[in-house]
Amino acid sequence: MTTYSLLILPGDGIGPEVMAEVRKVIGWFETNRGLSFDVSEDLVGGAAYDKHGKPLADETMAKALEVDAVLLGAVGGPAYDNLDFSVKPERGLLRLRKEMDLFANLRPAQCFDALADFSSLKRDVVAGLDILIVRELTSGVYFGQPRGISADDTPGNEGGRVGVNTQRYTSGEIRRVARAAFELARKRNNRVCSMEKANVMESGILWREEVQWVHDNEYPDVELSHMYADNGAMQLVRNPRQFDVIVTDNLFGDILSDAAAMLTGSLGMLPSASLGAPMENGRPRAMYEPVHGSAPDITGQGKANPIACILSFAMALRYSYGLGDEADRLERAVEKVLADGVRTGDLMGPEGGTPVSTSQMGDAIVAALAAA
Ligand code: NAI
Ligand code: MG
């Protein structure tokens, strides 16, 4: 029997609270679907700092490189805001992304019918929306050299300071994220839209040429289109359902994925995955995490919505374990619970009602799994 390894890093704030609900879901799959998970748990972020004086211990990093998948809750919180930059909770997350070389960040924007009225757009524009943004995560303008602030704004040199960041991509970096996007499209609706600014940026011209090259040579069966990223932003709010997979660079992807996320409602609903190069078993190195943070304002009150973390585990089932049917099952269970009107506080509309607790939401999803 295959055993699927998973490293759980609950982190800080509501991280441990939502992770407890994922544990219930894992337990259900073990008991009822005959799956075997080898789950280990460790510290990250402020929790790791409290014990080790740094936000990610070396042993934890080594473990992350061994397992099939990492599932992370959230890091940070007011207790750690004044720490030195080098040991801030976020550094733990960044170290994981960097050393696992997770270059493709997957951000689905999926509108559950029961929540369509939560969107800032009209129901008929977002109902049924199911798109996937693939953002390049390890290169581009956030990392390019040269960077910095030069020259003094001293008297006599007013207006002389220069802030520099460099948008830089190699063809190899573009090709590997393009391949990831085409592979994903093949498992979905077989369409990729690539976004850049080839009209005003040379790095955008290279992006367009390389994505086209990967398409023509390796994925001619996938439908490819190109769009300028500013038009892409307009199209995302005008008619988001025209897209299937969108692939774009680090900067545009940061902005476009946040905009797309809000088409679908609450932060408590949004999963993500970050994938790297294939490991020996052929599956990509991977870390899964909800998009939300540690939510200190509701920590310890049983108010957190565990769905973002549970849907992140569904992505692990699909992309790390090759269990697409089980991922579908889990997503159907979430959809059923929402359709039944089960709501955590963040999903309460103006009409009100009584919210369920984090734990009750987890229980409802586990109960729905049997029928899903
Ligand atoms: P946040 O995402 O933690 O919270 C923003 C708002 O959304 C809050 O009102 C919170 O209560 C609510 N919220 C978030 N997740 C929720 C959930 N699952 N269920 C119900 N409500 C939810 O972002 P914020 O407040 O900007 O940051 C708080 C801390 O989290 C900071 O220390 C920040 O650095 C850290 N952070 C960590 C991230 C990560 O681990 N990936 C990402 C974003 C922030
Ligand atoms: Mg962002």
Testing ligand 1's pocket by substitution, the residue of 267, 270, 301 carrying the most ligand atoms inside 8 A of its CB is: 267
pLDDT score of 158 = 77
What DSSP string runs through 232-301?
A: HHHHHHH-GGG-SEEEE-HHHHHHHHHHHHHTT--GGG-EEEEEEEE-TTSSEEEEEEESS---TTTTTT
Which residue stretches of the chain are H helix?
A: 15-33, 46-52, 58-66, 89-99, 123-126, 171-186, 202-218, 229-238, 250-262, 307-319, 324-339, 358-369
Locate the domains of the chain by residue range.
1-108+267-372, 130-262
Distance from the alpha carbon of residue 43 to the mean position of ligand 2, in angstroms = 24
130-262: which CATH number, 3.40.640.10, 3.40.50.150, 3.90.76.10, 3.40.718.10? 3.40.718.10
Catalytic site residue from 117, 142, 328, 363? 142
pLDDT score of 262 = 86
Task: Name the nearest CA neighbour of 36 among 70, 81, 3.
Answer: 3
Four-residue CA torsion sign, 207, 210, 214, 220:
positive
pLDDT score of 313 = 98
Closest ligand by atom to 292 CA: 1
pLDDT score of 201 = 98
pLDDT score of 342 = 96
Three-class SS state of 58: helix
Q: Is the ipTM of this complex over 0.90?
A: yes
pLDDT score of 253 = 97
Are the beta carbons of 97 and 274 closer than 8 angstroms?
Answer: yes
Distance from the alpha carbon of residue 316 to the mean position of ligand 2, in angstroms = 22
pLDDT score of 146 = 94
10-residue stretch averages of pLDDT, the chain, 372 residues long: 95 98 98 98 98 98 98 97 94 94 96 88 92 96 91 76 94 98 95 98 98 98 98 96 97 94 87 95 94 97 98 97 96 96 90 92 97 90
Give φ, ψ of 120 to 5 degrees: -75, -10
* CATH class for the domain made up of 1-108+267-372: alpha beta
Active site residue 152: no
The reply to whether 130-262 shares the fold of 1-108+267-372 is: yes
pLDDT score of 153 = 67
